[in-house]
Chains A and B, each alone.
Chain A
Amino acid sequence: MTPQARSLTFEFMKGVWKENPVIAQLLGMCPVLAVTNEVKNGIAMSGAVFFVLTLSAVMISLVRKLIPPQVRIASYIVVVAAFVTIADLMLAAFFPAQSKALGPYVPLIVVNCIILGRMEAFASKNTLGRSVIDALGMSAGFAVALLLMCTVREILGAGTWLGVKVLGAGWFDPWVVMVLPPGAFFTLGVIIGVSNFIQKKGLGT
């Protein structure tokens, strides 16, 4: 494996589409299903994951030579937990309403497989610059998946997008089930099915 041979653009884009953490790798499903009933929750969650993933990647790739391999997973968890605490407190201070809506799902970023997976698979083996690009790509991929879910669920479930009425009140009856738990499972199932369908056809590499 020669990571230096790959371009930085590739490093970024793989997170967005080909190795999209949610749609292709099925990682970090809990927040994807839980907080996507409204677009603004999705934005807040993507922001928190972006913050934690990028800063943890910076930290881990800087100290990767100092951590003994036997205790590396435990060290990753402590580093990630520290950044998650910061994110949680910042969200509670600046956006109290969002923090309340997201509930325990912000602290749960600690055990999100996307973060630990990237630390183990990438940041611990690559230079600072590459790790940051990879983290940005993965966060972007996570945000894309999350926003896709929110958009579908909020438009169908409430007829609005980010609080703005999209589907007319006269003819459209909101499908309440889409903002409830079953809607999350249905939406993600269909999105994964469609993405598999596109990839089998060889479109959009």
Chain B
Amino acid sequence: MEVFIIFIWAVLINNFVLAQFLGICPFLGISNKLSSAVSMGMAVTFVMTMTAIVTWPLYHLILAPYKLEFLRIVSFILVIACLVQFVEMFIRKMSEALYDAMGIYLPLITTNCAILGFALLSVLKDFNYLESIIFGVGAGLGFTLALILMAGIREELEFADIPVCLKGAGITLLVAGILSLSFMGFAGLIRIS
């Protein structure tokens, strides 16, 4: 698969939130304000890229040669947890502004199923190192795109007259359905096996 096609596939066609249902918790929880959506998206994209850089060698150079594939769930989750912790400390030391922008969202990312899901999917898809990193960047940007779109819509929804029983999660899911429906339109963009 070409690198560019993987990128488009990850951002638009197989969007992590709207087509794969990964990272639904932050999608429902943090999408009520545009500014926090941008920060969360940045943090996820960053950690996902780092995860791609670390988990690919871990799986293909350590786990696979020694026939330890069954340890992938445990080892991936531990690596992601350590990585997030490390990235948080690093950003706090490096840049105060960046830490304020995305720091508080970092600890939440450990249990974000988008990250672990991404690591497992890229093993499942048999990507090489470069493809896996591109897939990580694309998936992160796709997540950000979905989150920003949703936040924009939800800011407008505040003024809408919605039935009481649908307020909150109900209407958010219905809107996500419509968004997902419109993202299905991208499916014809490229042909993929």
Residues of A with Cβ closer than 8 Å to B?
Answer: 26-27, 29-31, 33-34, 74, 77-78, 81-82, 84-85, 88-89, 103-104, 107-108, 110-113, 116, 177, 180-186, 188-190, 192-194, 196-197, 200
Q: Which 9 A-B pairs give the minimum distances between C-beta atoms?
A: A185-B177, A189-B173, A196-B165, A189-B174, A34-B21, A193-B170, A197-B165, A182-B181, A29-B24
Residues in B neighbouring A196, C-beta threshold 8 A: 164-166, 170
Residue of B nearest to A196 (CB): B165
Task: Give Cα A107–Cα B18 distance, bound, in whole angstroms.
Answer: 20
Bound-complex Cα distance A185 to B22 (A) = 13
Give Cα A33 to B171, complex, Å. Answer: 15
- Minimum CB–CB distance for A142 against chain B, Å: 15
Of the candidates A78, A88, A111, A182, the one whose C-beta lies within 8 Å of that of B116 is A111
Asked if B152 lies at the interface with its beta carbon under 8 angstroms from chain A, I say: no
- Give chain A nearest CB distance to B153 CB in angstroms: 13
CA distance A30 to B111 in the complex (A): 12
User: Complex Cα distance A151/B184, Å?
Assistant: 23
Q: Which residues of B contact A (CB under 8 A)?
A: 18-25, 28, 70-74, 77-78, 81, 110-113, 116-117, 120-121, 124, 163-166, 169-174, 176-178, 180-181, 184
Pick 22 A–B contacts, CB within 8 A, sort by A.
A29-B21, A30-B22, A30-B113, A33-B21, A34-B20, A81-B77, A85-B70, A88-B73, A108-B22, A108-B117, A110-B77, A111-B110, A111-B116, A113-B25, A177-B181, A181-B18, A184-B21, A184-B177, A185-B173, A185-B174, A186-B173, A193-B166
Candidate in B111, B113, B124 with the most chain A CB atoms within 10 angstroms: B113
Q: Which B residue's beta carbon lies closest to that of A78?
A: B74
Complex Cα distance A109/B78, Å?
A: 15
Q: Is B166 in contact with A81, judged by CB distance below 8 angstroms?
A: no
A202 to chain B, nearest CB (A): 13
Q: Which of B18, B19, B165, B166 has the most CB of A within 10 A?
A: B165
A188 to B175, CA, bound (A): 12
Complex: how many Å from CA A197 to CA B70?
45
Main secondary structure of the interface of B (DSSP, over half): helix
Selected from A77, A81, A104, A186, the residue in CB contact (under 8 A) with B177 is A186
A111 to B81, CA, bound (A): 11
Q: Which of A103, A189, A200 is most buried by chain B, counting CB atoms within 10 A of its CB?
A: A189
Among A27, A111, A200, the residue within 8 A (CB) of B112 is A111
Closest B residue to A35 by CB, please name it: B21
CB contacts (< 8 Å) of A88 on chain B: these are 73
Determine which of A89, A108, A180, A185 lies in contact with B113 in the assembled complex, contact meaning CB atoms within 8 Å: A108
Which of B22, B25, B73, B172 contacts A85 (CB under 8 A)? B73
- CB-defined contacts of B171 to chain A, threshold 8 Å: 189
Partner of B124, one of A82, A89, A103: A103
Give the one of B19, B77, B124, B177 with max A CB within 10 A.
B177
- Cα A190 to Cα B171 with chains together (Å): 9
Chain A minimum-CB-distance residue to B27: A29
Residues of B contacting A181 with CB < 8 Å? 18-19, 21, 180, 184
A183 surroundings in chain B (CB, below 8 A):
177
| Alpha-carbon distance A81/B116, docked complex (angstroms) | 12
CB atoms of B184 and A180 under 8 A apart: yes
Q: Contacts A78-B74, A193-B163; is A29 near B28 (CB within 8 Å)?
A: yes
Query: Chain B residues with Cβ under 8 A from A189's Cβ?
Result: 166, 169-174, 176-177
**Closest beta carbon of chain B to A157's beta carbon, Å:** 13
Residues from chain A with Cβ under 8 Å of B163 in the complex: 193
Give CA–CA (A196, B110) in the complex, Å.
Answer: 31
Pick from B23, B24, B117, B163 the residue with the most CB of A within 10 Å.
Answer: B24
